[in-house]
Amino acid sequence: MTAIGVFDSGVGGLSVLHHIRQTLPNEHLIYVADSGHVPYGDKTASYIEQRSIALSNFLLSQGAEAIVIACNTATAAAAATLRRDFNCPIIGMEPAVKPAVTATKSGVIGVLATTGTLESARFAALLERYAGAVKIITQGCPGLVEQVELGELHSIRTRELVERYTAPLLERGADTLILGCTHYPFLAPLIREVVGEDIMLVDTGAAVARHLKSRLLTELPDHPTCRVETRPTELFFTSGDTTQASRIMSLLWGEDISAQPLPHAFANG
């Protein structure tokens, strides 16, 4: 059994954790919600990099043999540093432009993401890679991460934000919307209600899980991912309020969760 560490700015990375559990049913999963510092989208790259290093150190101290950065903003800010500094598989996220290019019929793709992701050099390079093939329209979504952190997946306020952010993309002909933040898949049912059935919604959780499995089989051959040795478990930590985190995580994970406090040295490091 392999221990896999996963972190996000908050609870959004649970959307990725769901796919990891489905793809790797026998592994031990350790999840950290950095909700004491959420959202990352309005933080500086150096701040996010510092948090990513602290969280990775914690996950390694808990026995993680691979780390998934279940956050597009943190991937853009810190993936290169983590891959340089840590000798283990580091799996990041990026908006699913490639499958969206395949899916679109109108040739217009909308990207819903945090400001931090949209302003990153990594995202700029991703857009340049597909320049000319399709028209890509980006939309920053301030406030959506916070709504998911509150567990308000269907509230009037959340609907208002979704309507505000999707309308300009649809008006310009987008028939495919990329959910460019790991929090946003939890809003997919609401987004679907707002944009209608004809709009394709794309996220990267399943692809990340498949990539993680491939990396484990290639780089950690002594730790098979297809054999049950002991009962697989999940551990959940947060740098925020544990009562609030336990309530929201239970809602999003679909089972009762008791989140543990991230040790002080890592929660504020």
Positive or negative torsion for Cα 79, 70, 130, 124 = negative
Element housing 176 (H / E): strand 176-179
| Known catalytic membership, residue 181 | yes
pLDDT computed for residue 268 by the predictor: 85
Bridge partners of 6, per DSSP, are 31, 68
DSSP assignments along 23-46, one per residue: H-TTSEEEEEE-GGG--STTS-HH
Q: Tell me the average pLDDT across 216-227.
A: 69
Say how many Å lie between the first and final Cα of the chain, rounded. 30
Catalytic residue from among 71, 88, 141, 226: 71
With 0-12 / 13-18 / 19 or more C-beta atoms within 10 angstroms meaning exposed / middle / buried, residue 166 is: buried
pLDDT computed for residue 226 by the predictor: 46
Tell me how far apart the alpha carbons of residues 176 and 189 are, in angstroms, rounded to a whole number. 15
pLDDT computed for residue 186 by the predictor: 98
Contacts of 214 (CB under 8 A, 6+ apart): none
With 0-12 / 13-18 / 19 or more C-beta atoms within 10 angstroms meaning exposed / middle / buried, residue 227 is: exposed
pLDDT at 43 over 50: yes
pLDDT computed for residue 224 by the predictor: 52
Backbone angles phi, psi at 49, to 5 degrees: -60, -45
Given a contact cutoff of 8 angstroms between Cβ atoms, the answer to whether 165 and 112 are in contact is yes
Residue located via tokens 């432009």: 97
> At 151, is the pLDDT very low, low, confident or very high (cuts 50, 70, 90)?
very high
Give tens-digit pLDDT for 167-215.
Answer: 999 999 999 999 999 999 999 999 999 999 999 999 999 999 999 999 9
pLDDT at 162 over 50: yes
pLDDT computed for residue 221 by the predictor: 66
> At 70, is the pLDDT very low, low, confident or very high (cuts 50, 70, 90)?
very high
Backbone angles phi, psi at 257, to 5 degrees: -125, 135
Q: Give the residue from 207, 193, 172 showing the smallest Cα distance to 97.
A: 207
Mean pLDDT taken over the chain:
94
pLDDT computed for residue 203 by the predictor: 94
Given a contact cutoff of 8 angstroms between Cβ atoms, the answer to whether 154 and 190 are in contact is yes
Tell me how far apart the alpha carbons of residues 129 and 136 are, in angstroms, rounded to a whole number. 11
% of the chain surpassing 90 pLDDT: 87
Give tens-digit pLDDT for 124-134.
Answer: 998 898 878 89
| Known catalytic membership, residue 71 | yes
| Structural domains in the chain, sorted by start | 3-93+205-267 (3.40.50.1860), 97-202 (3.40.50.1860)
Give tens-digit pLDDT for 71-118.
Answer: 999 999 999 999 999 999 999 998 899 899 999 999 999 999 999 899
